[in-house]
Structure 1
Amino acid sequence: MTDPHGIERLHARADFDDIYERVLVPSFPAHELEQPESLWQQIAAGGLHAFAARGAGGRFDSVVMVADHAPVALVLYLAIDPTGRGSGTGSRLIRFATDFAARDLRADYVLAEVESPARHGPHPTYGDPRARLRFYARQGMRLLDAPYFQPGIGPGAPRVPALLLGLLAAKDAVRTDAGVLAPPLAAFMRSYLVASEGRLGDDGATVRLLAALDRPVVRTLPANDYREVAHGDLVGEAETHAPAP
């Protein structure tokens, strides 16, 4: 698949490995980035879809992935080579990924994760959460009012506290005046936690997150109102890491 703007599906393992090392590794802390073999296995199995755009030299220099958790799709690992930032490539990739999820995956909800500027400051390597949230606000993101944290990548792995779970798109059937229907999101969250961490934990952070989604409707807020969102702060060893095997 290639769109008119030059975004292509990553089919070849060599292309994937190249962009993983050159673009993904410098863009994410090691504990937030799955190993290439795991990601490629998910791509080969059809549950994860990876797309990339080429830079001026013809080499892939940006990437985005979409995980299919029907009826929810999760946009992951948006990364741009530093030489290509500010060119509009990130916006094109997000729009492409969102449209792909809604059209091809028939997702009722399209979500993305972003650090909360209320808890995370600028980093010399990984960027400024405020700028990142402004970027997503321009893409129309609204925030789910749930105390979200990024699950650990594997049993016992560290979690990332105080992330925001943003809604990039939602079909009319799941929208309400107060927000969006919550039961499919609660089901998604349980399966996502199990897939990431190995099993569903009974720690306080997991209980708080699921309690926020175990209701008829979860409200959404504009991205600029991130301070009003319940934050997924983590306290103690039982919350800061995925449950042990």
Structure 2
Amino acid sequence: MTAEALTTVDLTAPDEAPQLLRAAFDAVLRPSFTGDELGGPETIEPSERRVVSIVSTAAGEPMGVAVTDLDPDGISLLANLAVSPASRGLGVGARLMSHLAEVWAARAGVVLAEVHDPRGHADTPSEHPLARLRFYERAGARVLDTPFVQPALHPGAARVPDMLLLVLHPVGPAGAVDAVDSAELAEWIRRYYVAVEGTDPTDPTARRLLARVRERESVPAWPLARWRDVARLTLDG
């Protein structure tokens, strides 16, 4: 499969390419995430604030998907990025990241991603935490010096502890982020929890997480190779 045989599209409206969107969900996202980390197809519905980028073959077979929740005036989130099991190792992920850099440059400020901390997540057939970190490191990502607990993304889901927050944009010598304002990051975390869990995060785990973020004026963004230096925070403290 050559790069010329692939196409990349950005979906930004609910009724845009519904068959392609559903195929991307079933063939790419569903095999790549656990039930706690992925809701139903409706959770990736494109909109003005959510761009779904899909790499597919000339025949319309999805190979890679990225979902970006945009906040042009604040912090945006790469909510999902995955390559179908059959397409791994073919450069599809790198193609997506190159495309996303253009999308983010036009429509986003700081873009974060939440990824498994290899110290708390073992390799599985569908997830390889160290390999994922190496992938993002090649893209120039940096790691925030704060642990993270992913909120429960949908009813019936559990929170996912032992996560790392990566800075994906801006990166590179000309505009790399060295730190993120603590108040802005804490407010983003609070709004994220409210959006998916429905209430303000006031439980002990959330309070510890937010206290860790707020203990400094800004949270450093380190070279990704330093991910082991990020102090862990689990559901138990």
Give the distance between the partners of 1:82 and 1:31, measured in 2 at CA.
20
Shift of 1:14: 1.4
- 1:114/1:194 Cα in 2 relative to 1: closer, same or farther (>3 Å)? same
2:31 match: secondary structure: helix
Q: CA RMSD in A?
A: 2.3
Q: Deviations over 1:157-205 (max 9, x none)?
A: 30111010000123889955xx232322222111111111111222222
- On the 8 A contact 1:110/1:168 being kept in 2, the answer is yes
For 2:24 and 2:176, the matched residues in 1 are separated by 36
Give the TM-score, by structure 2 length.
0.86
1:182-236 CA-to-partner distances (Å, cap 9, x unmatched) read 322222111111111111222222112212332421112222221111223112x
- Corresponding letter in the other structure for 2:192: Y
Give percent identity, aligned residues only.
35
- CA distance in structure 1 between the partners assigned to 2:123 and 2:86 by the alignment: 19
| Conservation of the 8 A alpha-carbon contact between 1:75 and 1:97 | no
Q: 2:92 aligns with which of 89, 92, 99?
A: 89
The corresponding residue for 2:231 is 230
8 Å CA contact 1:73–1:101 kept in 2: the answer is no
Where 1:93 maps in the other structure, the secondary structure is helix
| Bigger strand fraction | 2
Cα distance in 1, alignment partners of residues 195 and 22 from structure 2 = 23
Asked if 1 retains the 8 angstrom alpha-carbon contact of 2:27 and 2:62, the reply is: no
Is structure 2 residue 45 aligned with structure 1 residue 36?
Answer: no
Structure 1 residue 219 and structure 2 residue 229: aligned? no
**What amino acid is aligned across from residue 120 of structure 2 in structure 1?**
R
The Cα shift of 1:145 comes to 1.2
The answer on whether the counterparts of 1:74 and 1:112 sit within 8 Å (CA) in structure 2 is: yes
State the SS of the aligned residue for 1:61: strand
Q: Confirm or deny: 8 A CA contact 2:8 2:54 kept in the other structure.
A: yes
8 Å contact kept, 1:148–1:165: yes
Structure 2 CA distance for aligned equivalents of residues 91 and 64 of structure 1 = 12
Q: TM-score, normalised by structure 1?
A: 0.83
Q: Distance in 2 between matches of 1:218 and 1:208?
A: 15
Alpha-carbon distance in 1 for matches of 2:203, 2:176: 29
The 3 A distance-change label for structure 1 pair 164 and 57 is same
Runs of 4 or more consecutive aligned structure 1 residues displaced over 4 Å after TM superposition: 171-176
**Which residue is equivalent to 1:74?**
77
For the structure 1 residues 200 and 230, does the alpha-carbon distance in structure 2 shift closer, same or farther, using more than 3 Å as the test? Answer: farther
Is the contact between residue 212 and residue 218 of structure 1 (CA under 8 Å) also seen in structure 2? no
* Unaligned stretches of 5+ residues in structure 2: none
Contact 1:102 1:110 in 2 (8 A): no
- The whole-number CA distance in structure 2 between the counterparts of 1:228 and 1:26 is 31
Letter in 2 for 1:31: D
Bigger shift: 164-173 or 63-72? 164-173
Number of residue pairs matched? 225
By how many angstroms is 1:47 displaced? 2.1
Change in Cα spacing, 1:180 to 1:170, as seen in structure 2 (3 Å) is farther
Q: Which runs of 5+ in 1 are unaligned?
A: 240-245
Per the alignment, do residues 98 and 74 of structure 1 end up closer, same or farther by CA in structure 2, a change over 3 Å counting?
farther
Equivalence map 1:102-121=2 (5 Å): 102-103=105-106, 105=107, 107-121=108-122
